[in-house]
C-alpha cells in the first residue's frame, strides 16, 4: 500500500484477514489469567446461596418488636457455615456475619443497637424488614451469563469463577509464535561485540511481550542477510507455529531479504502506517501461516507491536471487540511543533506538582533507536496529525500499564 494508513483502519482491516485458532483446553482456574474463554461462563448457583447476615448481631422477626421496650429471648447461636432453626414468637438468634438467617426471621439488628445478656436482648431502635441482610442471589442469580466466549480473563474473573464453584475453564490454547530477527550485525547478549555489531535486543523485547500474552515462543534466531537462509528459516517455522513475527528486513534496503522470501513462499502486503515511530509494516501468509513484519528500530518494534500486533494476536484467539488501545486526557507540560502526516506516539512521563496536579512531560530523546526512552517513560502521549501542542493543552496519554494489560 503506497499511502499512509491510520493505525485504527489498519487494525480493523487486518483483523478480517486472520485465521482464528479453534483448539481449546480445559485448565484449572488458577492457570487462566490472560487466557481467552472458549465458551460462556454461566452460573449454576445463586450467590449468596441463602439469605445471610451482613454483620454480627441478632436475627429477629420485625413483627415482634413494635416498640422499644420489647425483649426477645435468645434461643440459638448461628455462625457462618451453620444452619439455625426456625424462630418462634419473641425469639432472637445470635448471628454472625455470613451466617444464613434462621427461618421466620426477616432482619438482623446490629449488636451495637441492643442491650443483651446471655438470655435475652432489648432492641434500642426501630428495625425495618430486610435490614442488614444479604439476599439469596443478590450478587449472582442462577442461570445468568457472567462472562462471554472471547473474553480475556483478568484476576477478578478468577475469583468470580471460584465464587460460583467453577474449578476449571475451557479456554483457547496458547498461540505458538516464531520470532525471527535479521541482520548480519546482530549478536546475542553475552557475546563480546566486534566492531560494527549490536546486541539483539528486539528478540528479547518481543519475547517478554509475547510471554505476557501467554504465547509459546519459538526462537528462529538471528538470520543472516541472505535470501536463501531467510526463506529456509521461514519455511521451517511455518510448519510448527500459528504466527511468524520478524523484526527488520521489510525496508527498501537491498540487504533486506524478508520481503522477497515471504513472497516466494506465500504472499505479502506492505503497509505504510500513519504513526511515528513506526511506519513500515508487513503482513501476509507464509505457507498458510500468519506473518507480521515489524520495523527494525527498537522503539518502532516495541510501539508497533503494542498498538497493532498485540490486538491482532488476541483476535486470532477469538478475543472480541478488538480496537485501538485508548488512554485518558491529561495536561501537557511541554510544547511541540506541529506534527506531520503521521500520528505521533511520544514517550512521556507522568509529573506531579506541589499541589498534587498531574501532567505529562515528553522525554527529550524521541529517536526510534533510543531504547532507554522506553524505560524512562510511563507511557505514550498521542499527538494527532497536523497538530501543534502548547503547554497545558489536554492530550491523550496511554500508560504502559494499559498497553501491557
Domain edges within the chain = 4-23+173-316, 25-47+150-172, 52-134, 328-400
Q: For position 252, what pLDDT does the model report?
A: 57
Topology agreement, domain 25-47+150-172 and domain 328-400: no
- The count of C-alpha atoms lying within 13 angstroms of the C-alpha of 245, restricted to the half-sphere facing its C-beta, is 30
Distance CA 151, CA 29 (A): 14
In which element (H, E) is residue 203 found? helix 201-212
In sign, the C-alpha dihedral spanning 61, 67, 68, 69 is negative
CATH topology for 25-47+150-172 is Molybdopterin biosynthesis moea protein, domain 2 (3.90.105)
CATH homologous superfamily of 4-23+173-316 equals MoaB/Mog-like domain (3.40.980.10)
Query: In whole angstroms, what is the distance from residue 59 CA to residue 72 CA?
Result: 10
The single residue listed with the C-alpha cell 425495618 is 128
**How far from 371 is each of 96, 180, 233, 337, 358, CA to CA, in Å?**
57, 19, 27, 23, 25
Q: How far apart are CA 392 and CA 297, in angstroms?
A: 31
- Does the domain at residues 52-134 carry the CATH identifier 2.170.190.11? yes
The whole-number pLDDT of residue 254 equals 45
**What's the confidence (pLDDT) of residue 1?**
46
The Cβ-side half-sphere exposure at 326, using a 13 Å CA radius, reads 5
pLDDT per residue rounded down to tens, the chain (405 residues): 458 999 999 999 999 999 999 999 999 999 999 999 999 999 999 999 999 999 999 999 999 987 767 789 999 999 999 999 999 999 999 999 999 999 999 999 999 999 988 899 999 888 999 999 999 999 999 999 999 999 999 999 999 999 999 999 999 999 999 999 887 888 999 999 999 999 999 999 999 999 999 999 999 988 877 888 889 999 999 999 999 999 986 665 545 688 889 999 999 999 999 999 998 999 999 999 999 999 988 999 999 999 999 999 999 999 977 788 899 999 999 999 999 999 999 999 999 999 999 999 999 999 888 889 999 999 999 999 999 999 999 999 999 999 998
Residues 23, 28, 31, 34: is their CA dihedral positive or negative? positive
The HSE-up count of residue 143 (CA atoms within 13 Å, CB side) is 0
* pTM summary value: 0.89
328-400: in CATH 2.40.340.10? yes
In whole angstroms, what is the distance from residue 209 CA to residue 400 CA?
Answer: 12
How far apart CA 107 and CA 129 sit, in angstroms, is: 6
pLDDT of residue 256: 66
Amino acid at each position: 500500500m503506497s499511502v499512509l494508513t491510520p493505525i485504527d483502519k489498519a487494525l480493523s482491516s487486518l483483523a478480517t484477514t486472520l485465521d482464528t485458532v479453534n483448539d481449546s483446553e480445559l485448565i484449572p482456574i488458577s492457570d487462566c489469567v490472560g487466557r481467552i474463554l472458549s465458551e460462556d461462563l454461566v452460573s449454576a448457583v445463586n450467590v449468596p446461596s441463602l439469605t445471610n447476615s451482613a454483620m454480627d448481631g441478632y436475627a429477629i422477626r420485625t413483627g415482634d418488636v413494635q416498640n422499644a421496650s420489647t425483649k426477645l429471648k435468645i434461643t440459638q447461636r448461628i455462625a457462618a457455615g451453620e444452619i439455625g432453626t426456625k424462630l418462634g414468637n419473641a425469639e432472637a438468634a445470635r448471628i454472625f456475619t455470613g451466617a444464613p438467617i434462621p427461618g421466620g426471621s426477616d432482619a438482623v439488628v446490629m449488636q451495637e443497637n441492643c442491650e443483651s445478656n446471655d438470655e435475652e436482648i432489648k432492641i434500642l431502635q426501630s428495625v425495618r424488614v430486610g435490614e442488614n441482610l444479604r439476599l439469596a442471589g443478590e450478587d449472582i442469580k442462577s442461570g445468568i451469563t457472567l462472562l462471554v466466549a472471547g473474553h480475556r480473563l483478568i484476576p477478578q474473573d478468577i475469583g468470580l469463577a471460584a465464587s460460583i464453584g467453577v474449578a476449571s475453564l475451557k479456554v483457547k490454547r496458547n498461540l505458538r509464535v516464531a520470532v525471527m530477527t535479521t541482520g548480519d550485525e546482530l549478536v546475542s547478549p553475552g557475546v563480546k561485540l566486534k566492531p560494527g555489531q549490536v546486541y539483539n535486543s528486539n528478540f528479547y523485547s518481543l519475547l517478554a511481550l509475547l510471554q505476557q500474552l501467554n504465547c509459546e515462543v519459538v526462537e528462529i534466531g538471528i538470520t543472516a542477510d541472505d535470501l536463501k537462509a531467510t526463506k529456509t528459516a521461514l519455511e521451517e517455522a511455518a510448519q510448527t507455529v500459528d504466527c511468524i513475527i520478524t523484526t527488520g528486513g521489510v525496508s527498501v534496503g537491498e540487504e533486506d531479504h524478508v520481503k522477497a522470501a515471504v513472497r516466494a513462499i506465500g504472499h505479502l502486503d506492505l503497509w505504510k502506517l500513519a504513526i511515528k515511530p513506526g511506519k513500515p509494516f508487513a503482513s501476509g501468509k507464509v505457507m498458510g501461516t500468519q506473518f507480521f513484519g515489524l520495523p527494525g528500530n527498537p522503539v518502532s518494534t516495541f510501539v508497533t507491536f503494542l498498538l497493532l500486533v498485540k490486538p491482532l494476536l488476541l483476535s486470532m484467539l477469538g478475543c472480541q471487540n478488538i480496537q485501538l488501545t485508548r488512554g485518558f486526557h491529561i495536561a501537557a507540560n511541554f510544547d511541540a511543533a506541529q506534527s506531520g502526516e503521521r500520528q505521533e506516539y511520544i514517550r512521556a512521563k507522568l509529573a506531579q506538582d506541589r499541589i498534587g496536579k498531574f501532567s505529562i512531560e515528553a522525554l527529550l530523546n524521541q529517536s526510534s533507536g533510543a531504547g532507554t526512552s522506553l524505560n524512562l517513560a510511563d507511557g505514550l502521549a498521542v499527538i494527532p496529525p497536523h497538530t501543534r501542542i502548547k503547554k497545558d493543552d489536554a492530550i491523550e496519554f496511554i500508560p504502559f500499564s494499559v498497553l501491557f494489560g
